[in-house]
Amino acid sequence: MQFKQIIAFILILICGTSCDYFRKPVPSKEILLQEELKSIDWNQVDQYPSIVECENIEDKTQRQQCFFEYLTSLIQQKLSQDTLPFPGIDIDTITVKVTVFPDATIDFEPQFPKDSVVYDKIKIDSLLTEKLKDFPRINPALKRGIPVKTQFILPVILKQE
């Protein structure tokens, strides 16, 4: 009988300690947060800025292309409404850095080559500001459902007559 009691005692001891052997330690909230932050690609957004005309497009790449084409076209259209007052300026294309803020406001900043004349920069910058002040609403980019600031550069063709 004693042999059976010893075996029973050993089995109870093994069963009692085996639960701790299989139990995994629960990481703290801070460790989980750090792991989640490391897994996020902060250079990419989940959803690019968009306009109403492109909202029904399901494919992310096509929606982005629609947005960029619309934006470039609208900027070119607004800048070419009047004859541009640039006598003697040889610029036919400028690049514009577009910033879309989380509150859906937009900022346009022309980018110029290092060797361009200051006069050109001031005239184009003031014209860009004047022509694009009543720009249609753009929905900001989203990262995990939260609106975020995005910046991108678009080539804009200046139509001179």
Cα(100)–Cα(109) distance, integer angstroms: 12
Domain coordinates of the chain in residue numbers?
Answer: 52-157
Which residue type does 9 have?
Answer: F
- Predicted confidence pLDDT, tens digits, the chain (161 residues): 577 777 877 777 676 665 555 666 777 778 877 887 777 766 777 788 888 888 888 888 888 899 889 888 888 887 776 555 555 555 677 788 889 999 988 888 887 766 665 556 666 677 777 777 777 888 898 888 889 999 988 887 765 55
Angle between helices 118-131 and 60-79 (to 10 degrees): 110
Judge contact between 125 and 111, C-beta under 8 A: no
Cα(145)–Cα(76) distance, integer angstroms: 31
pLDDT of residue 116: 61
Which residue type does 60 have?
Answer: K
pTM of the model: 0.67
Nearest to 154 by CA among 99, 87, 90, 92: 99
Structure tokens at 47: 């959803």
Cα(22)–Cα(71) distance, integer angstroms: 58
Give 13's contacts (C-beta < 8 A, 6+ positions apart): none
